[in-house]
Chains A and B, each alone.
Chain A
Amino acid sequence: MARAQHSLFDEGDVALRPAICVRGLKTAFGSHVVHENLDLTVWPGEILALVGGSGTGKTVLLRQMIGLAQPAAGQVEVLGVPAHGGTPAQRRSLARRQGMLFQAGALFSALTVFDNVALPLRELRTIPEDLVCEVVMTRLALVGLGASDAAKMPADLSGGMIKRVALARALSLDPELLFLDEPTAGLDPQRSDEFVDLVRSLHRQLGFTVVMVTHDLDTLVELATRVAVLADKRVIVCDELSEVVRVDHPFIRTFFLGPRGQRALGDLAPKERTAYGKP
Chain B
Amino acid sequence: MAQGPGQAASDPGDSPAPLTLKAGVCRLAGDWSVQTLAARGEIRARRRALDAAQANAGLRWDLTGVRRLDAVGAHLLWRAWGARLPERVRLHAAQRDIFASLARMSIEPPRPAPRDPLAWLAKLGAGVLDGAQHGRALLLLLGQLVLDAATVLARPRLAPWREISAQVYHTGAQALGITALVGFLIGIVLSYLSAQQLQVFGAGQFIVTLLGVSIVRELGPVLAAILVAGRSGSAITAQIGVMRVTEELDAMRVMGLSLGQRLILPRVAALALAMPLLVLWTDAMALAGGMLAAYAQLGLTPSWFLQQLPDAITINNYWITLGKGLAFGVLVALVACHFGLRIEPNTESLGRGTTASVVTSITGVILVDALFAIIFSQVGI
- Hey, which bits of chain A sit against chain B, CB under 8 A? 63, 66-68, 91-92, 94-96, 98-100, 102-104, 106-109, 119-120, 123, 125
Contacts and interface: CB of A to CB of B under 8 A. Distances in A.
B248 A108 contact: yes
Contact of B253 (A68, A108, A119): A68
Majority DSSP secondary structure for residues of A touching B: mixed
28 contacts: A63-B250, A68-B250, A68-B253, A68-B254, A92-B256, A94-B256, A96-B256, A98-B254, A100-B251, A100-B254, A104-B246, A104-B247, A106-B246, A106-B247, A106-B248, A106-B250, A106-B251, A108-B248, A109-B242, A109-B243, A109-B246, A109-B248, A119-B255, A120-B255, A123-B255, A123-B256, A123-B257, A125-B158
Interface in B220-277: 242-243, 246-248, 250-257
A106 B246 CA distance: 6
A243 B249 CA distance: 39
A99 B255 CA distance: 7
Interface string B339-352: 00000000000000
A101 B246 CA distance: 13
B247 A95 contact: no
Contacts of A120: 255
A66 B254 contact: yes
Given A100-B251, A125-B157, 9 more contacts: A68-B253, A68-B254, A95-B256, A98-B254, A103-B247, A106-B247, A108-B251, A123-B255, A125-B158
Majority DSSP secondary structure for residues of B touching A: helix
A119 B252 CA distance: 10
A96 B257 CA distance: 11
A102 to B, nearest CB: 5
B235 to A, nearest CB: 13
Given A104-B246, A106-B246, A91 B251 contact: no
B12 to A, nearest CB: 48
B250 A102 contact: yes
B80 to A, nearest CB: 41
Interface of B: 157-158, 242-243, 246-248, 250-257
B253 to A, nearest CB: 6
A247 B359 CA distance: 58
Given A104-B247, A106-B246, A108-B248, A91 B256 contact: yes
A96 B254 CA distance: 9
A68 B157 CA distance: 27
A107 B242 CA distance: 12
Contacts of B253: 67-68
A67 B248 contact: no
Contacts of A104: 246-247
A16 B335 CA distance: 50
**Top-3 shortest CB links A-B:** A95-B256, A106-B247, A106-B251
Contacts of A119: 255
B88 to A, nearest CB: 44
Contacts of B257: 123
Contact of A102 (B242, B251, B256): B251
Given A104-B246, A108-B248, A109-B246, A67 B255 contact: no
A207 to B, nearest CB: 21
A123 B262 CA distance: 11
B250 A95 contact: no
Given A104-B246, A109-B246, A67 B251 contact: no
Contacts of B248: 106-109
Max count, chain B CB within 10 A of own CB: residue among A68, A94, A96, A98: A68
Nearest to B250: A68
A246 B252 CA distance: 41
Contacts of A66: 254
Max count, chain B CB within 10 A of own CB: residue among A103, A106, A119, A123: A106
A157 to B, nearest CB: 13
A67 B254 CA distance: 7
A98 B255 CA distance: 8
Contacts of B157: 125
Contacts of B252: 108
B94 to A, nearest CB: 27
Contact of B254 (A95, A103, A107): A95
A92 B261 CA distance: 15
A132 to B, nearest CB: 15
A53 B246 CA distance: 24
Contacts of B256: 91-92, 94-96, 123
Nearest to A99: B254
Nearest to A103: B247
Contacts of B246: 104, 106, 109
Contacts of A106: 246-248, 250-251
A125 B242 CA distance: 28
B120 to A, nearest CB: 25
A94 B250 CA distance: 15
A105 to B, nearest CB: 8
B5 to A, nearest CB: 49
Max count, chain A CB within 10 A of own CB: residue among B250, B252, B254: B254
Contacts of B254: 66-68, 95, 98-100
A120 B257 CA distance: 9
B265 to A, nearest CB: 16
B155 to A, nearest CB: 11
Contacts of A94: 256
A169 B101 CA distance: 54
A254 to B, nearest CB: 24
B142 to A, nearest CB: 21
B231 to A, nearest CB: 19
Contacts of A98: 254
Contacts of A125: 157-158
A211 to B, nearest CB: 13
A102 B246 CA distance: 9
B218 to A, nearest CB: 37
Contacts of B158: 125
A116 to B, nearest CB: 9
A98 B242 CA distance: 25
